[in-house]
Amino acid sequence: MSGDWTTLEFAERGILASMKIVALTKPVTKIGRPHLLISAAWLLQVVAWFLPVVKGVWGGQTDPISGEQAFVAAAGALRDGGLFGEWYSAVLAAASAVTTVFFIGGSPWVVLRGSPSLRRTSAWAVSLAFIVNAHWYILLRPDGLVSDLGIGYFLWWWSFVLLAIGFFDLAGSDNAVESTQRQAAALPK
């Protein structure tokens, strides 16, 4: 076999087995901090879709509203603006739906195909989305449309923080690699 492969023989229960295992000598890559944060953000986002996001409306308790149901309501906020009261509440609810669409559709693309500058820009955009989505908590009123938030909301909201930190880390780690490559290329041979 070539130099890239190693043949390992192993003993099982003290008896030399006739089996041979062919393994790559290339080390297994570890998942880095940025990818761990981004994966955790995606996991929180998925879990939040099934957990209760809203537990109280108009000051009373209600059957818990899941993340999926809350997304559908927020997505139709501009069409059904009267449901959300003030015009700015409808705009903020629709903006929340848009941030979720960009999270789900855009973040995998940024991770897989994004340049360091796109990742940095996306990190700032996700940070802004976190601030926009805080309106559900900030505008919470005991007698308002949403009067009690569930754990799903907080997981969904904090998934934006993890994604932003992951994007910032990913953009920074790419810059470090590029910088090292430039320095190596500049050295005389």
20-to-1, 9, 17, 23, 127 alpha-carbon distances in Å = 13, 5, 8, 10, 51
Contact, 130 vs 164, CB < 8 A? yes
Distance CA(110)–CA(80), nearest Å, equals 32
181: its two tokens: 């490559």
| pLDDT given for residue 122 in this prediction | 95
Domains held by the chain: number = 1
Residue 4 in any domain: the answer is no
> Amino acid identity of 80?
D
Residue 11 in any domain: the answer is no
Model confidence pTM above 0.75 = no
Residue 107 in any domain: the answer is yes
Residue 22 in any domain: the answer is no
Residue 51 in any domain: the answer is yes
User: Block means of pLDDT (10 residues each) for the chain, length 189 residues?
Assistant: 44 44 50 89 94 73 80 82 71 90 93 91 95 84 67 93 94 59 55
| pLDDT given for residue 42 in this prediction | 96
| pLDDT given for residue 185 in this prediction | 54
| pLDDT given for residue 8 in this prediction | 44
Residue 5 in any domain: the answer is no
Q: How many CB atoms lie within 10 A of CB 41?
A: 23
For residue 54, what are the domain limits?
31-186
Contact, 35 vs 162, CB < 8 A? no
